[in-house]
């Protein structure tokens, strides 16, 4: 039975959100929390960019045994990178990183060919560039290479099938259908993705934007259509729906839709890897890292997601939560309440000393071997705070403590 997996693109497409920037430490914590939640793959960034090199290689090191307990921090998640479907770009990415999973992207619609590429490339040129990039990736040691058709939803269906089959012939592993402008609707994407999956017999990725508010519906409808055509599906998502313009498909919304909705919920297409109890922590951390509050009406994790004020609703929820709630807040790892300090606060940041740092780590039941250990950790905490331009979270303090050498690599940005 085909299954649906999730490829999170928060650290790539999500970070492309205008006026947004994440530190390499923050991107690493996101990868860690995605791994804890059981997400199949993180599209972690751009391997061609020099400032991503140390971050990418440091995270790949976290997939191997490291630290005192000899276990990898990232135990299950695949780490992938995005590249233009240009063979030269792929060669350079392979030279400067150890990535083994790539998504290779090129525009395919007539709109893009005429008004983005200004008529410089024909459809034949587009296919050749894509094929050459797949050959470069696989020839350079990549384990997987996905091929991305940017603006697929406005591309002739016959050309998409030709594009996908040409990639498959040279070893492409998945075809990414990009609804780049959020143009599709659940009916159109079901028809188009179902046809492509049947004609190509390739696993497919659904990459949907939210310009019409349909990203989650389109992603799920397309993924179900792909599975019904006999192929595994991979939904591209971001945490809290972050992304360019109106955002991308929200991770938690897609999971809940495929688990609890009227028809999709009974199909059993989700893998058992997803641990929903991590959803709350992940959403809160990403909100903090992006410095973007979670909307009050956000699915599952918004402030009002389980709030009832209307007399009829409150009465019904108190009698039996099933009257007005499809799923439990406990399922998402949401606590009954959160504690906020209102008295004395001792924090650790760019101006801290070892006494304050020892206090902060003491609250986490962590201590230092000696004064040198404390000073080395303090140095990393100061630089990490500077990189984040914000106080460190509990997750970040923990990471700096247990992975000092990786932290040092993440904080190294050489122009």
Half-sphere exposure for 173 (CA within 13 Å, toward CB): 13
Quickly state the pLDDT bin for 127 (edges 50, 70, 90): very high
Q: What is the dihedral of CA 160, 133, 48, 9, to 10 degrees?
A: 30
69: pLDDT strictly greater than 80:
no
Lowest mean pLDDT across 152-161, 172-181, 223-232, 332-341 = 332-341
Is pLDDT at 339 greater than 90 in this prediction?
no
Over range 366-390, report the average pLDDT: 97
N residues, the chain? 415
CA–CA distance, 237 with 306 (Å, rounded to integer): 23
When pLDDT is cut at 50, 70 and 90, the band that residue 342 belongs to is confident
* Residue-wise pLDDT tens digits, 268-288: 999 889 999 999 999 999 999
Q: Write down the pLDDT at residue 205.
A: 98
| Portion of the chain with pLDDT greater than 90, in percent | 95
pLDDT interval class at 102 (50, 70, 90): very high
- pLDDT tens by residue, 238-255: 999 999 999 999 999 999
The pLDDT, as a whole number, for residue 133 is 98
Measured from the Cβ of residue 123, the count of other Cβ atoms closer than 10 Å reads 15
What CA–CA distance (Å, rounded) separates 368 from 178?
49
Mean pLDDT along residues 151-176: 98
> What value does the CA radius of gyration of the chain take, rounded to a whole number of Å?
23
Alpha-carbon gap, residue 245 to 211, rounded angstroms: 7
pLDDT at 123 (0 to 100): 98
Among the listed residues 40, 55, 49, the one whose alpha carbon sits nearest the alpha carbon of residue 8: 40
Give me the pLDDT at residue 332, please: 98
Question: Which pair of tokens denotes residue 365?
Answer: 């039941």
pLDDT at 237 exceeding the cut of 70: yes
Is pLDDT above 70 for 68?
no
pLDDT on residue 230: 98
Chain centroid, CA 13 distance in Å:
8
- The separation between CA 405 and the C-alpha centre of its own chain, rounded to angstroms, equals 25
Burial letters 127-164, b for 16+ CB under 10 A, else e: bebbbbbbbbbbebebebbbbbbbbbbbbeeebbbbbb
Q: What is the mean pLDDT of the chain?
A: 96
Confidence of residue 67 (pLDDT cuts 50, 70, 90): low
Which stretches of 74-131 are assigned E, i.e. beta strand? 78-84, 101-107
Mean pLDDT of 314-326: 94
E-strand stretches of 202-293? 204-208, 233-237
**Helix H or strand E encompassing 382:** helix 371-388
Residue 414 has a pLDDT of 84
Residue-level pLDDT at 233: 98
| Average pLDDT, integer, range 305-327 | 95
């Amino acid at each position: 039975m085909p299954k649906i997996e999730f490829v999170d693109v928060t650290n790539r497409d999500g970070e492309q959100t205008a006026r947004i920037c994440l530190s390499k430490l923050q991107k690493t914590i996101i990868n860690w929390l995605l791994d804890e939640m059981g997400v199949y793959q993180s599209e972690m960034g751009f391997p061609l960019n020099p400032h991503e090199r140390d971050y990418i290689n440091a995270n790949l090191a976290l997939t191997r045994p490291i630290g005192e307990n000899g276990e990898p921090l990232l135990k299950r998640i695949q780490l992938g990178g995005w590249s233009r479907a240009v063979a030269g770009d792929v060669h350079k990415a392979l030279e400067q990183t150890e990535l083994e999973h790539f998504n290779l992207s090129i525009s395919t619609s007539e709109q893009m060919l005429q008004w983005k590429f200004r008529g410089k490339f024909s459809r034949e040129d587009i296919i050749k560039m894509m094929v050459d990039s797949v050959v470069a990736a696989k020839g350079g040691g990549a384990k997987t290479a996905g091929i991305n058709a940017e603006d697929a939803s406005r591309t002739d269906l016959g050309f998409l099938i030709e594009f996908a089959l040409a990639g498959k012939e040279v070893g492409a592993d998945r075809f990414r259908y990009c609804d780049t402008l959020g143009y599709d609707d659940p009916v159109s994407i079901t028809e188009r993705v179902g046809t492509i999956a049947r004609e190509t017999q390739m696993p497919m990725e659904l990459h949907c934007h939210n310009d019409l508010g349909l990203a989650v519906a389109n992603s799920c409808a397309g993924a179900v259509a792909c599975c019904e055509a006999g192929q595994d599906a991979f939904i591209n998502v971001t945490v809290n729906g972050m992304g360019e313009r109106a955002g991308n498909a929200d991770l938690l919304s897609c999971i809940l839709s495929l688990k609890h909705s009227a028809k999709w919920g009974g199909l059993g297409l989700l893998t058992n890897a997803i641990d929903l109890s991590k959803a709350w922590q992940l959403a809160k951390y990403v909100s903090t890292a992006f410095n973007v509050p979670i909307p009050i009406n956000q699915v599952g994790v918004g402030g009002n997601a389980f709030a009832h004020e209307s007399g009829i609703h409150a009465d019904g929820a108190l009698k039996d939560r099933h009257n007005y709630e499809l799923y439990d807040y406990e399922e998402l790892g949401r606590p009954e309440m959160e504690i906020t300090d209102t008295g004395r606060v001792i924090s650790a940041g760019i101006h801290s000393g070892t006494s304050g740092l020892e206090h902060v780590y003491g609250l986490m039941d962590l201590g230092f071997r000696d004064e040198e250990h404390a000073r080395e950790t303090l140095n990393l905490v100061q630089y990490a705070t500077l990189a984040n331009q914000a106080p460190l979270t509990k997750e970040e303090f923990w990471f700096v403590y247990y992975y000092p050498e990786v932290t040092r690599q993440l904080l190294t940005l050489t122009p």
